[in-house]
């Protein structure tokens, strides 16, 4: 059926293969990092500013959770099982997957113009009122306008840019700043942050920021049509190829 | 699904072949240059190998950060250790007068050192941070004899690639590669903050490896063995840590 083939071609691909593959690899790596990171925190749920901190110094704050070490005073009468061994192995392996995937995505994104065309806010939106207007429409639960099925609005673009170019680089930086070997070769990575414990505390906050993004992101996907958004990120297409389902999109 | 075009199939196939061939070549190169850690073949070995290889390429000669005297922690934390063995308690009662360090394996002259022998070699002090894999840390001044001085006395052979070191406590042993063994900051430590090294912090003798996390700095050292392979030690994973689920390389 040549007509169908033709209409398929004109239905622009919503997400390129590189974006889709790197997206899902990043999902897996990030979830692994989140779970193992949480396990590692449990072995010392106290946070400090500066270079040093331990159970004999005053923490900046303490998480109200039990610990997997009996040397940490938590107020709980029991000690959680130690999960740090495999958690640390998997944390660093997933970090490699995340970084290498990010490199592929970054090069492809510059090469194809993905960042400039799809993620950089459009020129006419470079003003605060564009942000407020879009936010007001979200709050009114106004339906998506036609363009938003094929392109991101200013709030989405800004959020993705912030995650890709600010949060992920910072979480990688603060992670490396905790490596005694890496910082022996590149001491500025930790000195510029103000110390090893500051790097650890920032790493913790940045992880929460990324988790917050994940929750909002998945919520918005669910609210705007879970099936069609998932289809777009898995197959790349936004509409069912069959004409019978065409009404669903409107 | 859209049909896959012939061009896509060919380029995809070529890319996959090149990828597999590239991985195989990288694996051979990593083995030749000693960039595969002893636990690089177990679960998570791929990530471990990437970490170890990358850090060895970047940090072979780098120096651990040293701190000004004013940053020495007022409240260092000794961490807990297993209850001391009867043998250790006997040494402690005798004031560690009979403590010995044996150096054997791939050395020209296997030797035994008393604490006095070790202290008669050139020594240095350095103010470095102990960072635990759990997340906590402290800074102290460490006074000791660089491990390389003891290795020179015993004449470590050029074939040696790893150094295995043992605590007097049972089942507590570690190993490092020669980059860390010969590193000027790797100290057989016997003093801390201008005094003797307290027992809680590893006294009378602790091997401090400041470019790695605390668990590589084994307390109560009695024996050092130079070797070209870690296969015959324990389960062949390099040290007691991987046998307990922890990575052999603790530079991160």
pLDDT, tens only, B6-45: 777 787 788 888 888 888 888 888 888 889 999 998 889 9
Beta carbons of A196 and B77 less than 8 Å apart = no
Domain ranges for chain A: 2-164+212-242
Helix (H, G, I), strand (E, B) or coil at A136: helix
Question: What average pLDDT does the segment B236-243 reach?
Answer: 95
CB contact under 8 A, B67 and A51: yes
Average pLDDT, chain A: 90
Alpha-carbon distance of B165 to A120, in angstroms, equals 55
Residues 35-54 of A with CB under 8 A from B: 40-41, 43-44, 46, 51-54
Q: How many percent of chain B have pLDDT more than 70?
A: 98
Domain spans in chain B, listed from the N-terminal domain onward: 66-243
- From CA B115, how far away is CA B99, in angstroms rounded? 7
Closest partner residue to B65 among A71, A84, A184, by Cβ?
A: A184
Q: DSSP secondary-structure letter at B225? A: E
DSSP secondary-structure letter at B126? E
| Minimum CA–CA partner of B56 in chain A | A181
Mean pLDDT of B221-227: 98
Kindly state the percentage of chain A with pLDDT values over 90: 82
pTM: 0.91
Average pLDDT score over residue span A86-115: 97
CB contact under 8 A, B65 and A190: yes
Q: Is the pLDDT of residue B238 over 90?
A: yes
Task: Show residues of chain A in contact with B247, CB under 8 Å.
Answer: 85, 88-89, 92
- pLDDT greater at residue A25 or residue B41: A25
Out of A53, A55, A184, whose CB is closest to B59? Answer: A184
CB atoms A57 and B137 under 8 Å: no
- Answer whether CATH 3.40.190.10 is correct for domain B66-243: no
Helices and strands, number each (H, E), in chain A: 11, 2
φ/ψ of residue B115, rounded to 5:
-60, -35
pLDDT of amino acid A11: 56
B211 contacts in chain A (CB < 8 Å)? 180-181, 184
So what's the pLDDT on residue B246?
96
Are the Cβ atoms of B77 and A182 closer than 8 angstroms? no
Compute the average pLDDT of residues A123-146: 91
- Rounded to an integer, what distance in angstroms lies between the CA atom of residue B252 and that of residue B247? 10
Contact B158, B70 (CB under 8 A): no
For residue B102, what are the β-bridge partners?
B112, B223
Q: In terms of pLDDT, which residue wins out, A242 or A78?
A: A78
pLDDT band at residue B124 using 50, 70 and 90 as cut-offs:
very high
CB contact under 8 A, B80 and A71: yes
> Are residues A96 and B47, on separate chains, in Cβ contact within 8 Å?
yes
The beta-carbon neighbor of B75 closest among A8, A57, A71 is A57
Neighbours of A36 (CB within 10 A): 22
**Is A64 a residue whose pLDDT tops 60?**
yes
**pLDDT interval class at A239 (50, 70, 90):** low
pLDDT of residue A249: 43
Q: Which residues of B touch A97 (CB under 8 A)?
A: 47
Judged by a CB distance cut-off of 8 A, whether residue B51 touches chain A is yes
Q: How close is the nearest chain B Cα to the Cα of A68, in Å?
A: 10
Whether chain B has a CB inside 8 Å of the CB on A244: the answer is no
Nearest Cβ partner for A55 among B50, B77, B133: B77
* pLDDT band, residue A1 (cuts 50/70/90): very low
Nearest to A178 by CA among A167, A189, A166: A189
The nearest CA of chain A is from the CA of B66 a distance in Å of: 9
Distance from CA of B38 to the nearest CA of A (A): 14
The pLDDT-based confidence of B230 (bands split at 50, 70, 90) is: very high
Q: Which of A31-35, A229-233, B165-169 has the lowest mean pLDDT?
A: A229-233
Residue A10 confidence (pLDDT) above 50: no
Chain A nearest-CA residue for B72: A52
With bands split at pLDDT 50, 70 and 90, how would you rate the model's confidence at B245?
Answer: very high
Q: pLDDT averaged over chain B? A: 94
Residue-wise pLDDT for A36-55, tens only, equals 999 999 999 999 999 999 99
**Per-residue pLDDT at B3 exceeds 70:** no
- Closest CA in chain A for residue B58: A185
Q: Calculate how close chain A gets to B215, using CA atoms only, in Å.
A: 12
Chain A 109-168, residues with CB within 8 Å of chain B CB atoms: none
| Residue A81 touches chain B, beta carbons under 8 Å | no
Q: What region does A113 belong to: left with phi over 0, alpha with psi -120 to 50, or beta?
A: left
- A139-181 pLDDT, tens digit each: 998 888 878 878 899 999 999 999 999 999 999 999 999 999 9
Contacts of A90 in chain B (CB under 8 A): 44, 47
């Amino acid at each position: 059926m040549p007509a169908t083939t033709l209409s398929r071609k004109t239905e622009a691909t919503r997400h390129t293969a590189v974006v889709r593959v790197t997206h899902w690899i990043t999902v897996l790596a990030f979830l692994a990092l989140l779970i193992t990171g949480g396990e590692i925190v449990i072995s010392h749920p106290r946070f400090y500013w500066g270079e040093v901190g331990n159970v004999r110094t005053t923490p900046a704050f303490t998480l109200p959770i039990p610990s997997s070490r009996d040397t940490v005073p938590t107020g709980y009468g029991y000690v959680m099982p130690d999960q740090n061994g495999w958690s640390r192995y998997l944390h660093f392996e997933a970090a490699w997957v995340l970084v290498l995937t990010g490199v592929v995505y970054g090069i492809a994104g510059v090469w194809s113009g993905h960042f400039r065309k799809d993620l950089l806010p459009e020129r006419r939106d470079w003003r605060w009122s564009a942000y407020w207007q879009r936010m007001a429409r979200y709050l009114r639960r106004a339906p998506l306008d036609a363009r938003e099925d094929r392109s991101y609005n200013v709030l989405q673009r800004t959020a993705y840019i912030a995650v890709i170019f600010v949060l992920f680089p910072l979480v990688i930086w603060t992670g490396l700043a905790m490596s005694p070997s890496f910082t022996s070769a590149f001491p500025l990575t930790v000195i510029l942050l103000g110390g090893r414990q500051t790097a650890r505390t920032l790493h913790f906050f940045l992880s929460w920021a990324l988790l917050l993004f994940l929750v909002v992101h998945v919520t918005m996907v669910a609210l705007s049509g879970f099936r069609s958004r998932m289809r777009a990120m898995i197959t790349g297409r936004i509409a069912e190829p069959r004409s019978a389902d065409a009404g669903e999109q409107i | 699904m859209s049909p896959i075009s012939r061009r896509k199939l060919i380029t995809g196939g070529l890319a996959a072949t090149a990828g597999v061939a590239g991985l195989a070549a990288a694996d051979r190169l990593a083995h030749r240059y000693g960039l595969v850690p002893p636990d690089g073949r177990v679960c998570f070995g791929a990530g471990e190998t990437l970490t170890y290889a990358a850090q060895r390429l970047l940090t072979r000669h780098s120096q651990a950060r040293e701190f000004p005297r004013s940053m020495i922690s007022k409240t260092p934390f000794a961490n807990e250790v297993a209850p001391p063995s009867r043998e250790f308690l006997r040494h402690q009662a005798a004031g560690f007068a009979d403590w010995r360090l044996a150096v054997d394996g791939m050395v020209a002259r296997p030797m035994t050192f008393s604490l006095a022998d070790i202290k008669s070699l050139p020594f240095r002090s350095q103010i470095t941070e102990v960072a635990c894999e759990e997340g906590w840390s402290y800074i102290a001044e460490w006074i000791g004899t660089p491990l390389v001085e003891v290795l020179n006395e015993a004449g470590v052979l050029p074939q040696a690639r790893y150094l295995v070191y043992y605590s007097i406590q049972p089942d507590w042993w570690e190993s490092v590669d020669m980059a860390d063994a010969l590193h000027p900051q790797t100290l057989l430590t016997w003093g801390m903050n201008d005094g003797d090294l307290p027992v809680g912090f590893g006294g009378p003798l602790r091997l401090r490896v400041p470019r790695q996390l605390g668990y590589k700095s084994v307390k109560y050292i009695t024996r050092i063995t130079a070797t070209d392979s870690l296969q015959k030690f324990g389960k062949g994973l390099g040290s007691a840590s991987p046998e307990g689920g922890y990575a052999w390389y603790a530079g991160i």
